[in-house]
Amino acid sequence: MQSFEIGKNDAGQRADKFLLKACPNLPKSLLYKTFRKKDVKCNGRRIPAETFLREGDVMQVYLPDNCFSGMQKAQVRTLPMPEIAYEDDDIVLLKKPVNLPVHADDKGSTDTLQGRFLSYLAKNGGYRPEQEQSFTPALCNRLDRNTEGFVIGAKNAAALRCMNEKIRLGEITKQYLCITVGVPEKCADTVIAYHRRLPGKKAEIRRTPAEGFSEIRTGYEVLAANGGLALLRVTLYTGRTHQIRAQMAALGCPVLGDEKYGNPAANRKRHLTHQLLAACSLRFDFSAAACPLDALRGRMFSYVPDFCAEYGFSEVDLTKI
C-alpha cells in the first residue's frame, strides 16, 4: 500500500492522472484494474478514477510495493541562466535565443530552454523537486530551435492550467518580426489558408480546403522594404507547425535564412544558417473574468531583434510592436 498527501500542485486533477504522473512505472492496465477493484481510497473512502483531487486529501493505493519503484524524485541539471523579461509568483517570461531547443529534440541536445527554466527555479527556490509528487514547472508555448523570442513558463500547476486555457481561447496576442526575400503584393493582409504537417517535420500549405488540412489564419503588415528584402510584422491567429515560415514561402516571400522553406541562393549570399524570425511581442488580452494570472491582464511585452538593424531597418519605428 502507498499513501499520498495531495499538495497544492497536485490538486485540481483527476485521481488517475495524478497516479500516472506520481508513479511513472505503474502500468495503466494495472492502475485501472485497481480502480475497478475499488482499491483506491481518498480520505478513507473508495473513489473512481475520474475523482478530482483537492489540496490536503490523502490517497491510499493498495498495490504491491514494487509497483511504486519508479517514484524517484526528479533531478535538475545545472544549466546556463535563461534571459528573463518578466517574472512574478506564477509566471516567468523567457527570451529564447537562436539554436536553443525548447525541449529535447532529435539532435540530442542536453541544453534546452525547459532545462534552463527548471535549473533557474531550483537555484532560487522556486522549484523543489524533492517536494513534488506529480508536477514539474513547464513551458506553455514552443518555438522552433532557430526562432528567437518569448516563451512563457508556468511555475505552478494553477498558473499552467490557466495560461494553457488563455492560449486555447485566443486571449494572448502573439506577434513576430521577420525579414523576407521579396515583398508581398499587399502591404497588409490576413491570409486564410490550409495547413497539414508532413513526415519529416515539414508543413504543406494550400489555398483551398482539402482532407487532412486545417484552416490557418496569418496576419501580416509590411513595415519597410530595402534592397529586395522586406521587414514584416506578423500576427498569428492560429498556431500550427512552421506556420509563418510555410505561409510566407507559399506567398512567394520566404523568410530570409530559412533552410527548410527559404531561398537557398539568398541565404548563401548572406551566409545565414537560421531564419530571421523573432517572437518579439506578447499581449495578454484576458477576459474580464477573474483568474490566477490577473497581474498580466492588459500587459504587453516587446523587444526589437538585432537583425532589424543588421539588415538596414534601424530607421523603422518599431516602438509599437
pLDDT in single tens digits along all 321 residues of the chain: 899 999 999 999 999 999 998 888 888 999 999 999 999 999 999 999 999 999 999 999 998 877 776 665 667 889 999 999 999 999 999 999 999 999 987 777 789 999 999 999 999 998 998 889 989 999 999 999 999 999 999 999 999 999 999 999 999 999 999 999 999 999 999 999 999 999 888 999 999 999 999 999 999 999 999 999 999 999 999 989 999 999 999 999 999 999 999 999 999 999 999 999 999 999 999 987 778 899 999 999 999 999 999 999 987 666 555
172-283+299-310 CATH fold: Pseudouridine synthase (3.30.2350)
d(CA 52, CA 203): 38
Q: What dotted CATH number matches 2-68?
A: 3.10.290.10
- Per-residue b or e along 96-135, where b marks 16 or more CB atoms closer than 10 Å to that residue's CB: bebebbbeeeeeeeeebbbbbbbbbbbeeebbeeeebbbb
- Name the residue with cell 513576430: 176
Q: How many CA atoms lie within 13 A of 7 on its CB side?
A: 13
Predicted TM-score (pTM) of the model is 0.89
Measure the CA angle with vertex 140, ends 88 and 20; round to 5°. Answer: 110
| Cα–Cα distance for residue pair 196/204, rounded to 1 Å | 5
Domain with CATH 3.30.2350.10 in the chain: 83-168, 172-283+299-310
Question: Which CATH number is associated with domain 83-168?
Answer: 3.30.2350.10
